[in-house]
Amino acid sequence: MKIRNTIHLVASLSVLAAATGCGQSDAPAARAAAEAAGEAAVAIDAVASAEATASNPLLAEWAGPYGGVPAFDKMKVEDFKSALEAGMAEQLAEIDVIADNPEPPTFDNTILELERAGATLGRVFAYWGVTSSNLSSPAFRDVQQEMAPRLSEFFSKINQNEKLFARVKAVHDSDAVKQMRPDQQRLVRLVYDGFARNGATLDGAAKARYADINKRLAELHTTFANNVLHDEESYVTYLSADDLGGLSQAFIDAAATAASDRGREGEYAILNTRSSMDPFLTFSTERDLREKVWRTYYDRGDNGDEFDNNAIIAEILKLRDERVGLLGYETYADWRLEDRMAKTPERAMDLMMAVWPAAIGRVAEEVADMQAIVDAEGGDFEIAPWDYRFYSEKVRKAKYDLDSDEVKQYLQLDNLREGLFYVAGELFGFAFEPVEEGSVPVFHPDVKVWEVTDRQTGEHVGLWYLDPFARAGKRSGAWATSYRSHETFDGKKTPLGSNNSNFVKAADGEPVLVSYDDAETLFHEFGHALHYLSSNVAYPTLNGGVRDYTEFQSQLLERWLLTDEVIDRFLVHYRTGEPIPDALVAKIKAAKTFNQGFQTTEYLASAIIDMKLHTADPKGLDPDAFERRELEKLGMPSAVVMRHRTPHFGHAFSGEGYSAGYYGYMWADVLTSDAAEAFAEAPGGLYDDGVAEKLVTYLFAPRNSIDPAEAYLKFRGSEPSIAPLMRDRGFPIPAGVESGGQ
- The half-sphere exposure of 18 on its side-chain side, counting CA atoms within 13 A, is 25
In a domain, 180, yes or no: yes
Return the pLDDT at 546: 87
Question: Angle CA(480)–CA(486)–CA(489) in degrees, nearest 5?
Answer: 155
Return the pLDDT at 13: 33
- One domain for residues 60 and 154: yes
pLDDT band at residue 508 using 50, 70 and 90 as cut-offs? confident
Select from 649, 624, 656 the least CA-distant residue to 311. 624
Q: Give percent of the chain above pLDDT 70.
A: 92
pLDDT band at residue 462 using 50, 70 and 90 as cut-offs? very high
- One domain for residues 125 and 37: yes
In a domain, 565, yes or no: no
Q: Name the more confident of 504 and 322.
A: 322
Residues 714-737, mean pLDDT to the nearest whole number: 89
Return the pLDDT at 53: 57
Return the pLDDT at 476: 84
- One domain for residues 167 and 81: yes
Q: Compute CA 267 distance to the chain's CA centroid, rounded to the nearest angstrom.
A: 33
Return the pLDDT at 129: 96
Question: Which range of residues forms the domain containing residue 115?
Answer: 3-230+307-328
- One domain for residues 259 and 160: no
Residues 598-624, mean pLDDT to the nearest whole number: 97
- One domain for residues 47 and 158: yes
Return the pLDDT at 15: 31
- One domain for residues 153 and 206: yes
Residue 138 identity: P
pLDDT over 80 (residue 573)? yes
Taking only Cα atoms into account, the Rg of the chain, rounded to an integer number of angstroms, comes to 25
pLDDT band at residue 46 using 50, 70 and 90 as cut-offs? very low
pLDDT band at residue 458 using 50, 70 and 90 as cut-offs? very high
For residue 300, the 8-state DSSP code is T
Q: Are 519 and 414 in contact (CB under 8 A)?
A: no
pLDDT band at residue 51 using 50, 70 and 90 as cut-offs? low
Active site residue 487: no
Q: Name the more confident of 415 and 7.
A: 415
For residue 75, the 8-state DSSP code is -
Q: Tell me the pTM.
A: 0.83
- One domain for residues 324 and 277: no
- One domain for residues 318 and 269: no
> Which has the minimum average pLDDT: 304-308, 358-362, 736-740?
736-740
Q: How far is the CA of 14 from the CAs of 118, 217, 365, 690, in angstroms? A: 18, 10, 39, 38
Residues 334-338, mean pLDDT to the nearest whole number: 95
The β-bridge relationship of strands 41-42 and 237-239 is: unpaired
Select from 99, 61, 97, 55 the least CA-distant residue to 78. 55
pLDDT in tens, 152-161: 999 999 999 9
Q: CA–CA separation, 615 vs 714, rounded Å?
A: 34
Contacting residues for 42 by C-beta, under 8 A, at least 6 apart: 10, 151, 152, 153, 154, 155, 156, 157, 158, 159, 160, 211, 214
Return the pLDDT at 31: 35
Give the three-class secondary structure for 730. coil
Question: Angle CA(429)–CA(433)–CA(437) in degrees, nearest 5?
Answer: 160
Q: Give percent of the chain above pLDDT 90.
A: 86
Helix, strand, coil percentages, rounded to 5, for the chain: 60, 5, 35
Q: How far is the CA of 216 from the CAs of 40, 537, 607, 648, 689, in angstroms? A: 10, 35, 25, 19, 51
- The half-sphere exposure of 320 on its side-chain side, counting CA atoms within 13 A, is 30
Residues 689-698, mean pLDDT to the nearest whole number: 97
Select from 450, 270, 457, 370 the least CA-distant residue to 638. 370
pLDDT over 70 (residue 16)? no
- One domain for residues 258 and 173: no
Residues 552-556, mean pLDDT to the nearest whole number: 94
436: exposed, middle or buried (Cβ count in 10 Å: 0-12, 13-18, 19+): exposed
Return the pLDDT at 27: 34
Q: CA–CA separation, 691 vs 260, rounded Å?
A: 50
348: exposed, middle or buried (Cβ count in 10 Å: 0-12, 13-18, 19+): buried
Alpha-carbon dihedral sign for residues 468, 472, 477, 482: negative
In a domain, 511, yes or no: no
pLDDT band at residue 738 using 50, 70 and 90 as cut-offs? low
Give the three-class secondary structure for 112. helix
Q: CA–CA separation, 26 vs 28, rounded Å?
A: 7
In a domain, 418, yes or no: no
Give the three-class secondary structure for 687. helix
Residues 428-452, mean pLDDT to the nearest whole number: 97
Return the pLDDT at 737: 62
Return the pLDDT at 151: 95
- One domain for residues 46 and 151: yes
pLDDT in tens, 341-350: 999 999 999 9
Residues 79-90, mean pLDDT to the nearest whole number: 97
> Which has the minimum average pLDDT: 183-197, 278-292, 538-552, 561-575?
538-552
Residues 501-516, mean pLDDT to the nearest whole number: 92
Residues 401-418, mean pLDDT to the nearest whole number: 95
In a domain, 113, yes or no: yes
- One domain for residues 204 and 239: no
Which one is catalytic: 39, 90, 94, 525? 525
pLDDT in tens, 280-332: 999 999 999 999 999 999 999 999 999 999 999 999 999 999 999 999 999 99
pLDDT band at residue 545 using 50, 70 and 90 as cut-offs? confident
Query: Across all residues in the chain, what is the average pLDDT?
Result: 91
Q: Are 639 and 292 in contact (CB under 8 A)?
A: no
Burial 383-409 (b: 16+ CB within 10 A, else e): bebbbbbbbbbebbeeeeebebbbbbb
Q: Are 621 and 629 in contact (CB under 8 A)?
A: no
The number of distinct structural domains making up the chain is: 2
- One domain for residues 172 and 261: no
In a domain, 81, yes or no: yes
pLDDT over 60 (residue 6)? no
Q: CA–CA separation, 140 vs 35, rounded Å?
A: 15
The β-bridge relationship of strands 268-270 and 430-434 is: unpaired
The secondary structure of 1-67 as a DSSP string is --GGGHHHHTTT--S----SSS------HHHHHHHHH-S-EE---S---HHHHTT-GGGSPPBSSTT
pLDDT over 70 (residue 5)? no
In a domain, 61, yes or no: yes
Give the three-class secondary structure for 395. helix
In a domain, 440, yes or no: no
Q: CA–CA separation, 643 vs 654, rounded Å?
A: 16
Give the three-class secondary structure for 575. coil
pLDDT in tens, 605-617: 999 999 999 999 9
Return the pLDDT at 266: 96
